[in-house]
Amino acid sequence: MKSHTLLMPLDMHLHLRDGVMLETVAPLTSYSFSGAVVMPNLVPPITTKEAVMDYKKRIYAALGRVEEADDLLMADDFFEPYMTLFYQNYDRSFLEEVVDEIAAIKLYPAGITTNSEGGVSTFDLETMRATLEAMGDLKIPLCVHGETDGFVMDREAEFMSIYEMLASNFPKLKIIMEHITTQAAVEMLDKYPNLYATVTLHHLLMTLDDVAGGMLQPHLFCKPIAKRPEDREALLHVVLNAHPKVMFGSDSAPHPQHAKESCGCAAGVFTAPIALQVLCELFDAYGKLDNLQQFISDNAQSIYGICPEFKEVVLVESPFEVPEHYGNVVPMYAGETLAWSISDVE
């Protein structure tokens, strides 16, 4: 039986939500990942130091951990939530106060995705300069949902000029192009030394045809939307060949089943419980299993300068039947059988 071991898997773009949903989905990531960058687009969004720390406590509670005095009593799974702030024009003194509590700041264009109404409406450099320069000085990465409000298939490509503007004007600022989906974004990677990217599992597997080419598949609908075959091929090329500026970010985005299977269809694909199994299958199919460690952990450690908790995950080429539901959330490939499964986590 073929097996493969991954060390300290990291998910560099994850939605854990809050409340009952948080309690449902957080353990599904913490079981097999050493850490994850947690998105701040709650309602209301995470914009203060107190909100960051309170949310982290709720995540720990969902994982069965409690804080007593200065000690953290940990459950069996070692997992670090790397916290983020929702981008606003913060002043330097605030950033200096919060820098040790966060891994990054996440920028959303206003209204472009779930709970982003309070995002940036105009990319005015002079208005943003003090914040972005302070972030560069303090080595706080800027994670960006890179889409305009144009035609849905062109939104990411249209955003490339904004990435260029940010990268050229703030060379000390580390900029993460989140969940890239296009050949244009792949080509942007090597134009500026301070540009990096996350890539999701579902964008490595899908094109728009899988979402809407036949019967509409609501559980595959996401933002940014899946693109063309040539875009998927460009993503596969850099990921499978372990491009050092590319790292895994699932953008696993759980919604209740009723919110997905409705006329409003919430955007998001829930992949957290199957990510490692499917990635093993994908990399193995291309004869690139040896490169998966870089994509799933090593590149992220280098880009973010982090040292995650030790975790060894052993996967084997043995069938795994994906549950129809996790709580009230339907995962990608629900009810289907995957070729790889997790056999051991240490």
Taking the C-alpha atoms of residue 83 and residue 56, their distance in angstroms, rounded to an integer, is 7
**Which positions ≥6 away from 90 have C-beta within 8 Å?**
105, 131, 134
Please identify which of the residues 251, 290, 298, 344 carries the catalytic annotation.
Answer: 251
Whether 251 is catalytic: yes
Return the number of other C-beta atoms located less than 10 Å from residue 98's C-beta.
Answer: 20
Which is nearest to 228 in space by CA: 260, 183, 262, 166? 183
338: three-class secondary structure by DSSP:
strand
Amino acid at 257: Q
Taking the C-alpha atoms of residue 298 and residue 291, their distance in angstroms, rounded to an integer, is 10
Taking the C-alpha atoms of residue 57 and residue 128, their distance in angstroms, rounded to an integer, is 30
Taking the C-alpha atoms of residue 60 and residue 73, their distance in angstroms, rounded to an integer, is 10
Is-contact 209 217, C-beta < 8 A? no
So which residues are the catalytic ones? 251
